[in-house]
Amino acid sequence: MGFDKRVVDIFYDGLTVERTDPQHLRNTHLAFPKDCPKVLLLGVPGAGKTTLGRQLIGTHPVLERFPSTSVNRTTTCETEIIVGTDGYAAVVTFLSEEEADFEVRQSVSAALLKAIESDLDSAVSKAFLDRSDMRFRLKYVLGDLGVATEESNPYASAEDIELTEQSEDSQLRVSLHEAKGMSERLVGFIQSIRTIAASSKARIQKRLGPLESLSQDERNAALDDIQELAENSDEYGALVSDILDELRCKFDSIPSEGFHRSTTGWPKLWSMTAPANNRTQFLTAVRAFTGIDKGHWGKLLTPLVNGIRVAGPFVPSCRTFDTRPRVVLIDTEGLGHKADATFDVPDYIIGRFAEVDVILMVDGATVDPMSRAAARALEVIGSAGQTSKLCLAFTHMDEVKGPNIRGWEAMKEYTFNSVRNVFDNQIAKSLTPHVARHMLSHLEKNTFYLGSLQRNAPAAAMPELEKLLLRLEAAAAPALTTALPRYNYDWLMPIIIEGVSEFRNRWKAYLNLPSPADVKPLPWQSVKAVARRYGEGYDDGYHIRPASNLLNALSVALSRFLENPREWEGNPSLEEKRAIVDRLKEDVTDQLTRFCAEQLRGRPRIKWLEAYALRGDGTTYDRKLKVEAIYERWVPVPRVDGDEYVLDFAESLRTLVVSAIDVAKQRAQAQLASAA
CB 235 within 8 A of CB 197: no
pLDDT of residue 483: 79
655 shares a domain with 540: yes
In the DSSP assignment, the letter for residue 370 is S
Half-sphere exposure of residue 179, counting CA atoms within 13 Å on the CB side? Answer: 16
488 shares a domain with 456: no
Domain that holds residue 577: 484-675
Q: Which residues, listed in sequence order, are joined to residue 82 by a DSSP beta bridge?
A: 311, 328
493 shares a domain with 637: yes
492 shares a domain with 638: yes
Mean pLDDT of 91-103: 94
Q: Which residues, listed in sequence order, are joined to residue 78 by a DSSP beta bridge?
A: 307
498 shares a domain with 549: yes
pLDDT of residue 26: 94
Q: Which residues, listed in sequence order, are joined to residue 448 by a DSSP beta bridge?
A: 393
pLDDT in tens, 197-227: 999 999 999 988 998 898 888 888 888 888 8
Q: Which of 57-71, 112-126, 444-458 has the lowest mean pLDDT?
A: 57-71
Domain membership of residue 257 (yes or no) is: no
Q: Which residues, listed in sequence order, are joined to residue 485 by a DSSP beta bridge?
A: 568
CB 587 within 8 A of CB 660: yes
449 shares a domain with 384: yes
Query: What's the one-letter identity of residue 418?
Result: S
600 shares a domain with 463: no
Beta strands in 425-552 (DSSP E): 447-449, 484-486
3-state SS assignment for residue 640: coil
pLDDT in tens, 248-278: 999 988 877 889 998 888 999 999 999 999 9
498 shares a domain with 466: no
When pLDDT is cut at 50, 70 and 90, the band that residue 18 belongs to is low
662 shares a domain with 534: yes
Domain membership of residue 593 (yes or no) is: yes
pLDDT of residue 339: 42
CA dihedral defined by 181, 186, 188, 194, rounded to 10 degrees? -160
489 Cβ neighbours under 8 A, 6+ residues apart:
654, 658
CB 91 within 8 A of CB 23: no
Domain membership of residue 501 (yes or no) is: yes
Q: How far is the CA of 473 from the CAs of 65, 189, 301, 379, 458, in angstroms? A: 25, 51, 33, 25, 21
Domain membership of residue 48 (yes or no) is: yes
pLDDT in tens, 583-620: 999 999 999 999 999 999 999 999 999 999 987 777 88
Query: What's the one-letter identity of residue 321?
Result: F
Structural domain ending residue among the three candidates 200, 232, 251: 251
Q: Write b or e for each residue in 309-327: b if 16 or more Cβ atoms lie within 10 A of its Cβ, otherwise e.
A: bbbbbbbbbbbeeeebbeb
What is the count of structural domains for the chain? 3
Distance, in Å, from the CA atom of 394 to the CA atom of 448, rounded to the nearest integer, reads: 6
Q: How far is the CA of 330 from the CAs of 53, 288, 356, 569, in angstroms? A: 9, 20, 9, 38
CB 303 within 8 A of CB 74: no
For residue 402, the domain's CATH number is: 3.40.50.300
pLDDT in tens, 552-588: 999 999 999 999 999 998 888 888 899 899 999 999 9
pLDDT in tens, 427-461: 999 999 999 999 999 999 999 999 999 998 899 99
CB 306 within 8 A of CB 76: no
Distance, in Å, from the CA atom of 143 to the CA atom of 189, rounded to the nearest integer, reads: 12
Mean pLDDT of 336-360: 81
- Give counts: helices (H), strands (E), the chain: 24, 12
Distance, in Å, from the CA atom of 327 to the CA atom of 606, rounded to the nearest integer, reads: 43
